[in-house]
Structures are given as C-alpha cells and as structure tokens.
Amino acid sequence: MSQPRTGGCLCGAIRYETEGEPVFTLRCHCRDCQRASGAAHVPAARMPSAGFRIVQGTPKRYVNKADSGNDISRIFCGDCGTPLYVQVSTKPEIVGLRVTTLDDPSWFKPDADIFMQSAQPWDHVDAPRFDSYPTGQAYPVGGKS
C-alpha cells in the first residue's frame, strides 16, 4: 500500500491525509471554481472519499448549487479561508481535493481541462518567467518590490 498523501490549509489549523490513487485529475475552469479560488482555474484530483480524512481541526462548509443543479459542498478553513476540497451530492464516494493544498503537489498531471467555455483568455503561460518576484524593474502597478 502506498503512503498517504498529506496536506492542509495555509495557517495549519486544518490537516488531512488521503490514501489511494486519484480517480481523475483535472484543471477546472468553471466560474464557481474561479470565484471560490480567486484564480483562473483550480487544479484538482478526484480522490476516493473512503481514504480521505481530516486529522486536525474542523473545517467550515459552504453549500451551493452547481450548474448541473446538484448541491456542491465547498470545504475550507474558517481561519485562513483556504479552499481544501469539494464534494458533490451525487458523488459521495469522491472528494475533489484542491491539489495545491497537498504538502507535495509536484506529482500532479491533469488528465483534462474542464468547463473550458468559462476559461479566461489570459490563462496561459507566455509571459516572462521569474523564479521569484522580479526586482529592479519598474511596473505600472505596485512599483518596485
């Protein structure tokens, strides 16, 4: 059996572990995920809920209706606000884990990009790349670091 993957929120109040292999990996571009994350897409892994458990803290839950009409529960840290995972009412056997909350998300490789009709046209990587925040250059917003 493989080692459990571990993760948690930004402030450390919530910790979880998950066992088993992902059922499906994806980048979701739906507007709900964009609004909930503050990002253009959410990297997620659909994990078996039987192998998922909260090991520290008590997360908060926000329930709304997905475009499909199904209830979707968004689980997050009530202290720092980090989105941790989602559960869809019609798929209780699956946890939609936010991959970047894992202690080691480097293994992630998406099987698909979904809800591309909502994808932002600027969500691509063709801008200059920096290993850290760029310094010594003037920027129109924010000035120098």
Decide if 122 is inside a domain: no
Decide if 131 is inside a domain: no
pLDDT score of 7 more than 50 = yes
Decide if 70 is inside a domain: yes
Please give the Cα distance from 142 to 125 (Å, whole number): 21
Decide if 128 is inside a domain: no
pLDDT score of 145 more than 50 = no
Using CA atoms of 5, 47, 15, 39 in order, give the dihedral in degrees to the nearest 10. 110
Give the per-residue pLDDT at 144: 42
pTM of the predicted structure, to 2 decimals? 0.84
CATH number at residue 78: 2.170.150.70
- Tens of pLDDT along 68-118? 788 999 999 999 999 999 999 999 999 999 999 999 999 999 999 998 999
Report how many domains make up the chain.
1
pLDDT band at 135 (very low <50, low <70, confident <90, very high): low
- Tens of pLDDT along 25-73? 999 998 989 999 999 999 999 999 999 999 999 999 999 987 678 899 9
Domain hosting residue 110, numbered range = 5-116
Please give the Cα distance from 71 to 74 (Å, whole number): 10
Decide if 111 is inside a domain: yes
Report which of residues 40 and 131 the model is more confident about.
Answer: 40
Decide if 96 is inside a domain: yes
